[in-house]
Amino acid sequence: MYRIFLLFTLCFAKEEYWENLKLDRVSENELKAEFRFGASRENLKNERDFEVFPRILDELIEEYDVKYLLVIMGQGRWKDDKWGRKTQPGAVHGAQVYADFEANSEEGADKKLRFLIEALNGILCTSLSQISLITSPQLEIFKRPKYSTSQQIFRRYGILSRETTCTENLTRLRKLLACRQSGISILLHPSKLYDVLYHASHLIVKKNEKISEMEVGITAVFKNKNPIQGSNWLLSSIFESKLSSSCGIATKSQIEANNQIYDVKNLETSFDIEITSKPISNEAKLVKGWTSQGGSDQQNGILHISLQNGDLDSKLEVSQILPYFVQPRYAKISFKNCQITRKALQTSKNEKSSALLQYEIIIKSGEKCEITIPFDKKILRLDDYPPDANHGMHIPAAVIFVSQKSDSYTIHTNPILVALPVPDFSMPFNVICFVATAFALIFGPLQLYSTMWLAPSPPRSTFWRKINRLILLILIVLCLYAHFMEINLNEVRRGIEQYLEKLNELR
Amino acid sequence: MSGWQKIKQIENDGFLFKISFAIVLRSIAFQYSHLFAERVELNSPFYSFNHLNDGVALLEDGFDPYSGNDFNLPPISLYALYFLQKYVPNLLPTLWILMDISTALILSKISGTKTLMPFLFYAFNPISIASCSILSLTIPQNLLIAMIFWAYRLDYSKTVAILIGFWSSFTLYPLLLIFSLIFVANHKISAVFLAILAFFAANLVNFVLNEWSWSFLDSTYQVILNFTNIQPNVGLHWYFFVQVFEHFRTFYTSAFTILYFFMGIPLTLIIRNDKEMHFISILLLITTFFPYPTLNSATICLALLPVLEKYRNYFRYTLLVPTTLITTIALMPVMWHMWIVSSSGNANFFFGATLTYNVALIYLIMDLIFVYSRRQIDVLHGDSIKKQAKFGYSFY
Amino acid sequence: MRWSLFLLFFFPCTIVAVLNTGLQLRIDELFDTPGHTNNWAVLVDTSKFWFNYRHVSNVLALYHSIKRLGIPDSNIIMMLAEDVPCNPRNPRPGTVYASRAGSNLYGSDVEVDYRGEEVTVENFIRVLTGRHHPATPRSKRLLSDHQSNVLVYLTGHGGDSFMKFQDTEELTNVDLAYAIRTMYEDNRYHEMLVIADSCRSASMFEWIDSPNVLSLSSSLTHEESYSYDIDENIGVYVIDRYTHFTVQFLSKEVKALNSSANMQDYIEACPARKCLSTTGVRKDHYSKDPTRVRVTDFFGSARIFQHLTEEIELDDDFWSG
C-alpha cells in the first residue's frame, strides 16, 4: 500500500524522508543519543502538495526567501574532556539563530528578519523576540553552504542566552516530522530527554535551486542514575518506550549502535537492543574554549576568554557578542600568547544592538591563547531591565569556528552572567519631581528678576498667609495619619461610593 | 629700584614658590592617578581620557570610532591625541601640568585688587589636582575658559568670538556665551556672526578629519541634545532619563534643551551693566546644566568668583552654598561605593548627593542674580533707603 | 418462547430509549439555547520564580481539563511566566504535578504560546484586544468573533484592585475592564467567563461594565486565597484550593460534552469550608440565569451548528484570499 503511495508521488515533486538514531557510550555511565530526522523536496513551480516535507517550512522559505536557517536550542554543558568533540551543530545554553536570506536592502532585511523570528516563535513555541541579531559577521561562525544567486544574500546571527528549552519545543519539532506515531520518533520521550546532562535540539532549513531540505535533530547525553558495575543500557529503558511500528514512508530508517547499523525500516516485531559498546577513549586532544569573568563591583568587569589547542595546528575564528549593556574598553584589550591575523569589529547606531568582536587566530598544537577584554557595565533605562533585574544579564558564549587541515567545526565557550548597576524601580515619579524642582529653582528667580523690580516693600499683614499655611499643615497631617494607619485608598473610595448611594436612596 | 618694583619682586617671589608648589602637588598626584582614574565624579563621556584612548585604539586598528554611539568626542580631539601619542607619548603628563599652570597664571592676571585669590582657588583645589592626574579633558577646557575670560576682560571681541565658537564645537552648550558677546562688541552683531562662523569652521575641520563624512554628528551633538547617554555622572539629567517613561522622553528632552538655550535672554535682561557678572553667571549655567559634567567643570567658575569683589556684602548664602558643596563632594564617593560596590544602598543615595550638589550651584546662580539687583538699587538709590528695609518684588 | 424472550428484551429497551430521549429533551429544556459556535480560552499564569510552582500547575490542570472537553490547542492561548518543568530546581525535570499522587501535566501535548518574559500586561491586553504587531504569529492571537465564548483565567499573586505580573508590573482592574469593553465594541466575544484566582481577587472585576460577562473569583475583596497541597519532594505548594476544586468538579461532574452540570453548580462547587475563602461572583452583567447555562458552554467545545436559510453569495475575494 505504501509502495503504491510512493509510486503516486513520483508524478509529483519528489520528496524523501529519512530518520537516524545514533547511540554511543561516551563514558562508563553516560550515553549519548543523536536523533536526526530529515526531509527533502524538489522545487517544482506551482506544486502545492506536500507529502513528507512540512508545508509550514516551505511557506517560511517562500515568504522570507530563506537560503539557510539554523535554529539551535540547548541546555547543559558539553564536557570536552570526557565526551570528545561536540556533535555538530553544537549548542550552548540558550537559543541561537543563524540565517542567510535574500532581501532588497538592509532595512528590508531587518524587517524581514523580524517577521521571520516571530514566525519561528509560532512554529517552535520559543520566545526569541528579544534576540539581538548581528548583521553580516565578517568571519565564519557556522559551516554553511555556498550559494550561486544573483540577489544579495544577507547574513544574520544571534544568541539569546536566557532562552529556556523544554518539552513544548520538542512537541513542536515533532509536529514537523512525517512519522510521528511510528518509527524512531516514538522514542522521543519528553520528560526523559530533558532530564539529561546536555540537550541540544535544532532545526535546519536549506534551499538551493533544485531542492529544499530540512533537518530536525535532538542530541542528549544521559546519565545512568543507578550505576551498577558492568551493566548495559537497554534501548527501551533509556527512552521508556518501545519501538513497535516502523515508518513506512521513510527511505532510510536506522539505528547505529554497538558499531553496527540496525535497519528498522521494515519492522515486524518490537525491537530492543542493548548498548554494549565500550566508551571510546579520546586520545586526540581537542580545541577547548572557556570564558571567565573578573571584577568585583557593578561598575566594570573583565571578560577572559581562554583557548587551548589540541594536537593539530588550527585556525580559530573567535566571535564574541558584546550586548548593548556592556561597553568594551577597546584600548585595554590584551592578548597573551596569541597570533592574531585578522580583527573585525561591528557596532551599530541602534540603541539595543550588540557589538561583535571577531578575531582570526592561528594557534599551534598544544598552545594556549588568552584574550582579556575589560568592559564597563552600563545602567539602562527603567523599561530595559528584565523583570528580575538583580539577577543580571548574560554575555553570550563566544563562538569558535575551528578550521583544521581536514575539517572544520564549531565549538562554544560558556555564557557569563553580569550583575548590572540597578536604579530604584519604585521611584519614577519621585525622581521626575526632584529634578523638575531643581529646574524650577533656576527658572523661578530668572523669571522673577527679569519681570519684576526689587524694591523695598511696605509692611503688610501676614494674617492670610498664616491661615493658608495652617490649612496646608492640617492637610499634611491628615495625609501622614492615613499613611501611618495604612488606610487603603480603594476602601476609602468604596466607602464614599456607598455613602453617596445611601444618600441617593434616602432621597 | 623704586619701592613699587620692590613690592612687585616680593610678590613675585612668593608667587614663584606657589607655582612650584602647585607643580609639585600635581606631579605627586600622577603617582596616585589609579585612585581617580575610574571615578565617576571626575569622568564623563565627554571629558574622559580613557574614552579618547579607546577611540585612538579603534582608529589605529582601522575601525571607525563613530560607527556606534559610544565615542562622543569630535575628530579634532581624536586626531590631536592620535598624533600626540604617535610622536610624544611620554610628554602627556607634562603637557597637562603645563596647561593647568597656564590656566592658573592667567587667572592670577585677571583679578583687579586681590591678585592671588583666583590663582589659589584654582591651583590648590584638590578636584583640579585629581583631574589633572587622570589627564582629564576638562584641563584643556579650563585653559580655554581662562583665555576667553581674559580676552573678554580686555575687550578683544574677535578673539573672544572665535574662541567661543571653537569651544562650542566640542560641546554645544557654550553657545549660550554668545549673549555675553553683546557687552564686548559695543552692541555690534558682527561678533555674534564671527562666533557662529568659528563654530561652523570647527565643524568643517571635523568633517574633513573624519574622512569627509558627517558620521560624528550623531555621536557628539545628538547625544547632547537627546540625552541618550544615561551613565551616572554628577549632573542632573542621567537619573531623570533612566526613570522617565518612554512616552514622555521627547517632551522632556526638548523641554530641557529649549529651556537651557532660552535662559540667556532673561539673564541678559537682568544683568545689563556688569559684563564679568554676566559672564560668570552664564559660565555657571553652562556648568550646571550640561548633561555630562564632572566636578572639575565647576572649579574654574568658583575660582573666578573673587572677581566679583564689589558684591561681597550682599551675598545671602555665604555659609549654605560652600558647606553644601564640600559636604556633597565628600559624600559622593561614599554613596557611590554603597551603591555599586557593597550594594548596601541603592542608586537614590548617589543621586541625592549629586542632586544636592547641583542645587547648591543653582543657589549660587540665584544668589548672583539677587546680588546684582540689590547692588543696582544701592548704586542708583543708595542714600534714600533705610539700612534694614525688607525687600519684595513689584511691577513698577 | 423465543418471541416472549424477544419481547422481554425489546420492551424494556424501548421504554428506556423513550424515557432517555424524553429525559434528554427535558434536560435540553432545562438549558437555554446557546448562541455561540466556538470556544476560546486564555489561561494566564502571572508569577515568576520557582516557589510559585502552584500557579503554573493551576493553569496546566485547567488546560488539560478543557482540552479533554474538546477545546483544541489552536483555540487556547496559554501564558506561563516561569519555566517550571525545565527549571534547574525541579527534582523531576520535564514534569509538573498538581498533587502528590497526580500525573505529569507537562507531557507531550502541551503548547505554551507566551512563555517567560513574554508574559507582560502589554501582551495580555494585546491578546484580549487583538491589537498585535503585524509579525505576531497566529498561534499567539486570540481570533475570536461575535459567536465565540471566551474563557479568561488569571492566576497569580494579587491584591486589592490589581494582579501582579512577573513581580514588576500590575494589571489593574481598570485595565481589565477597559480591555473587555474594547472586546465588546469589537465584537470579539459572545459571552465571556472571567475567573481570577489570587488573593482578594473579587476586586479584579469591580469595574467590568460590558454585557454578557460572568465573573468569578476565588476570594472576596477583603480575603486571601489559599493553596491546597504541598509536595515535600518538590518542596513547594503544587496547587491552589480554588483551582483544585474546579478541576475536581470538572473531572467528576463534567465527564463529557453532554453533561448536564450547570454554571450554578460550578459556582457552588467550592464553598467556604472547602476553599477557606468565599468565592466571589458577579452576575449583574450576565443576561442568562446561571442555572440554565451548561458548564461546557465555557469549559468545553461543542460543535454547534446553526442552520441558515438565506442565500450567501461568495465573490472572487473569498476564493482568492
pLDDT digits (tens, 9 = 90+) for A55-86: 999 999 989 999 999 999 999 888 888 888 88
Contact A351 B385 (CB under 8 A): no
Q: What pLDDT does A25 receive?
A: 86
Do A331 and A188 lie in a common domain? no
Is C187 within 8 Å of chain A by CB? no
C307 falls in which pLDDT band (50, 70, 90)?
confident
- The residue range of the domain holding A441 is 426-452
Q: How far is Cα B84 from Cα B102, in angstroms, rounded to an integer?
A: 19
Residues 142-161 of C with CB under 8 A from A: 160-161
Do A21 and A106 lie in a common domain? yes
Residue C269, pLDDT > 70, answer: yes
Name the grid cell of A248. 513506512
3-state class (DSSP) for residue A34: strand
Phi–psi pair at C107, nearest 5 degrees: -80, -135
Cell 453533561 belongs to residue: C259
Do A395 and A475 lie in a common domain? no
> Would the CA dihedral through B137, B139, B140, B141 be positive or negative?
positive
Mean pLDDT of C139-149: 93
- Partners of A377 on chain B (C-beta within 8 Å) are none
Question: Which among B232, B389, B390 has CB closest to A379?
Answer: B232
Residue of A nearest to B345 (CA): A424
**Bond before C85 cis per omega within 30 degrees:** no
* Minimal CA separation from C8 to chain A, in Å: 47
Residues in contact with A33: Cβ distance below 8 Å, sequence separation at least 6, in sequence order: A21, A22, A23, A218, A219, A220, A221, A222, A238
Return the percentage of chain A with pLDDT > 70, whole number.
95
Cell 487583538 belongs to residue: C130
Helix (H) or strand (E) holding C158: strand C157-159
* Minimal CA separation from B10 to chain A, in Å: 44
Q: How far is Cα C70 from Cα C298, in angstroms, rounded to an integer?
A: 11
Q: How far is Cα C256 from Cα C251, in angstroms, rounded to an integer?
A: 9
Q: What pLDDT does B3 receive?
A: 61
Helix axes B126-133, B138-153, angle to 10 degrees: 130
Measured distance between the N- and C-terminal CA atoms of chain A, rounded to whole angstroms: 85
Do A448 and A408 lie in a common domain? no
Do A158 and A180 lie in a common domain? yes
Cell 563566544 belongs to residue: A398
**Composition of chain A by helix, strand, coil, percent to 5:** 25, 35, 40
Q: How far is Cα B381 from Cα B327, in angstroms, rounded to an integer?
A: 39
Residues in contact with B262: Cβ distance below 8 Å, sequence separation at least 6, in sequence order: none
Is A457 inside any structural domain?
no
- Partners of A129 on chain C (C-beta within 8 Å) are 118
Do A377 and A305 lie in a common domain? yes
Contact B246 A383 (CB under 8 A): yes
Q: Count the alpha carbons within 13 Å of A273 in the hemisphere toward its beta carbon.
A: 19
CATH of residue C80: 3.40.50.1460
User: Which segments of chain B have a pLDDT < 50?
Assistant: none
Residue A37, pLDDT > 90, answer: yes
Is A459 inside any structural domain?
no
Contact A238, A260 (CB under 8 A): no
Which alpha helices (DSSP H) does chain C contain, by range?
2-30, 53-68, 121-129, 173-185, 241-253, 263-267, 272-275, 296-299, 316-320
Q: What pLDDT does A229 receive?
A: 60
- The residue range of the domain holding C148 is 35-301
Instruction: List beta partners, residue A35.
Output: A21, A218
Contact B340 A297 (CB under 8 A): yes
Q: How far is Cα A494 from Cα A478, in angstroms, rounded to an integer?
A: 19
Contact C119, C45 (CB under 8 A): yes
Lowest model confidence (mean pLDDT) among A336-350, B46-60, C24-38, C130-144:
C24-38
Question: Which among B56, B242, B355 has CB closest to A382?
Answer: B242
A203 falls in which pLDDT band (50, 70, 90)?
very high
Do A171 and A66 lie in a common domain? yes
Return the percentage of chain C with pLDDT > 70, whole number.
96
Do A342 and A471 lie in a common domain? no
According to DSSP, the β-strands at C191-197 and C213-217 are: parallel
Closest CA relative to residue A211, chosen from A58, A64, A49: A58
Name the grid cell of A291. 570564558
Is C264 inside any structural domain?
yes
Contact B44, B223 (CB under 8 A): no
Q: What pLDDT does A5 receive?
A: 55
A12 falls in which pLDDT band (50, 70, 90)?
low
Q: How many residues does chain A have?
A: 507
C307 is catalytic: no
Pick the more confident residue, C61 or B8. Answer: C61
If you count DSSP H runs as helices and E runs as strands, how many of each does chain A have, helices first?
10, 25
Helix (H) or strand (E) holding A435: helix A428-451
Query: Best mutation site among B39, B66, B239 for testing chain A: the one with the most A CBs within 10 Å?
Result: B239
Is C178 inside any structural domain?
yes
Mean pLDDT of A227-234: 70
> Would the CA dihedral through A378, A382, A388, A390 be positive or negative?
positive
What distances in angstroms separate CA B184 from CA B151, B177, B269, B353, B389, one per listed residue?
A: 10, 11, 16, 38, 36
Q: Please pick, among C64, C190, C199, C244, the residue that the annotation labels catalytic.
A: C199
Is A313 inside any structural domain?
yes
Q: What pLDDT does C298 receive?
A: 92
Contact B270 A299 (CB under 8 A): no
A3 falls in which pLDDT band (50, 70, 90)?
low
A42-58 pLDDT tens trace = 887 777 788 889 999 99
Is A445 inside any structural domain?
yes
Do A292 and A235 lie in a common domain? no
Q: How many residues does chain C have?
A: 321
Residue C316, pLDDT > 90, answer: no
- Partners of A123 on chain C (C-beta within 8 Å) are 137
Contact B390 A457 (CB under 8 A): yes
Contact A348 B67 (CB under 8 A): yes
Contact C173, C162 (CB under 8 A): yes
Return the percentage of chain B with pLDDT > 70, whole number.
92
Cell 482540552 belongs to residue: C67
Is A330 inside any structural domain?
yes
**Bond before A279 cis per omega within 30 degrees:** no
Do A44 and A185 lie in a common domain? yes
A146 falls in which pLDDT band (50, 70, 90)?
confident
* Minimal CA separation from C44 to chain A, in Å: 16
CATH of residue A365: 2.60.40.690
Is A282 inside any structural domain?
no
Contact B68 A378 (CB under 8 A): no
Name the grid cell of B275. 559684563
Do A172 and A82 lie in a common domain? yes
Do A223 and A134 lie in a common domain? yes
Q: What pLDDT does B2 receive?
A: 62
Measured distance between the N- and C-terminal CA atoms of chain B, rounded to whole angstroms: 58
Is A280 inside any structural domain?
no
Q: Angle at the Cα of A185 (from A182 to A188), degrees rounded to 5? A: 135
Q: How far is Cα B331 from Cα C54, in angstroms, rounded to an integer?
A: 47
- Partners of A348 on chain B (C-beta within 8 Å) are 67-68
DSSP letters, C188-216, are --SEEEEEEESTTGGGGGTT---SSEEEE
Residue of A nearest to C89 (CA): A195
Closest CA relative to residue A134, chosen from A352, A447, A336: A352
Residues in contact with A485: Cβ distance below 8 Å, sequence separation at least 6, in sequence order: none
A339-392 pLDDT tens trace = 999 999 988 888 888 999 999 999 998 899 999 999 999 999 998 999 889 999
Name the grid cell of A454. 526689587
What distances in angstroms separate CA A138 from CA A110, A342, A359, B139, B220, one per listed residue?
A: 18, 10, 10, 40, 28
Q: How far is Cα A249 from Cα A4, in angstroms, rounded to an integer?
A: 11
Residue C93, pLDDT > 80, answer: yes
Q: What pLDDT does C99 receive?
A: 86
Q: How far is Cα B252 from Cα A379, in angstroms, rounded to an integer?
A: 20
Q: What pLDDT does A4 receive?
A: 56
Which chains are within 8 Å of A by 3+ CB pairs? B, C
Residue A280, pLDDT > 80, answer: no
Cell 549502535 belongs to residue: A257
C199 is catalytic: yes
What total of structural domains would you count in chain A? Answer: 4
Q: How many residues does chain B have?
A: 396
Is C221 inside any structural domain?
yes
- Partners of B320 on chain A (C-beta within 8 Å) are none
Is C120 inside any structural domain?
yes
Q: How far is Cα C232 from Cα C227, in angstroms, rounded to an integer?
A: 14
Phi-psi region of C69 (alpha: psi -120 to 50; beta: other; left: phi over 0): alpha
What total of structural domains would you count in chain C? Answer: 1
Name the grid cell of C64. 488539560
* Minimal CA separation from B46 to chain A, in Å: 15
Is A363 inside any structural domain?
yes
